[in-house]
């Protein structure tokens, strides 16, 4: 039996560009969280981090979900990224085009219907928190190393 997944994804950078991270939360069809992850991705823009969050979520689903997936509904708080992924806005920058190509490739590999919808930032707080934790952890670790050296 194919199942539905819901993904709350976010990406962010401190400065634009600046230290950046991704965060995503995957829920099963009953609304139970089956995975959550934050990842530091280095120096990037907010938009690159948002796309990378979608990519990281799709990669996790591809490698970890052992049953057929009928649909994946993504919720993001970036209207720009959602409108680009839904084909409503053109993407002119080559780096962003390459990220969309990667998303489309992963969508095909995962299978099922993949959709994207915007939500208010406050409804995406868990994914946003994972982004901030990943950045804070990296910056804290770097500051700690600087103090030792």
81-136 pLDDT per residue, tens: 999 999 999 998 999 999 999 999 999 999 999 999 999 999 999 999 999 999 99
Q: How many domains is the chain partitioned into structurally? A: 1
Which domain does 87 fall in, by range?
Answer: 3-148
Q: What is the pTM of this model?
A: 0.93
62 is written with which tokens?
Answer: 């591809």
> Residue 21 maps to which CATH number?
3.30.420.10
101 preceded by a cis bond (ω within 30 of 0): no
113 close to 72: Cβ distance less than 8 angstroms: yes
């Amino acid at each position: 039996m194919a199942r539905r997944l819901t993904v709350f994804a976010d990406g962010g950078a401190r400065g634009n560009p600046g230290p950046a991270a991704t965060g995503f939360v995957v829920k099963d069809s009953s609304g139970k969280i089956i995975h959550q992850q934050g990842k530091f991705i280095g120096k990037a823009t907010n938009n690159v981090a948002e796309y990378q969050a979608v990519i990281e979520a799709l990669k996790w689903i591809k490698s970890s979900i052992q049953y057929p997936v009928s649909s994946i509904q993504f919720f993001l708080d970036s209207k720009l990224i959602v409108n680009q992924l839904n084909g409503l806005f053109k993407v002119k920058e080559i780096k962003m085009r390459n990220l969309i190509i990667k998303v489309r490739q992963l969508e095909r590999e995962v299978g099922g219907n993949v959709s994207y919808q915007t939500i208010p930032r406050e409804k995406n707080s868990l994914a946003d928190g994972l982004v901030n934790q990943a950045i804070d952890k990296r910056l804290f670790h770097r500051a700690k190393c600087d103090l030792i050296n």
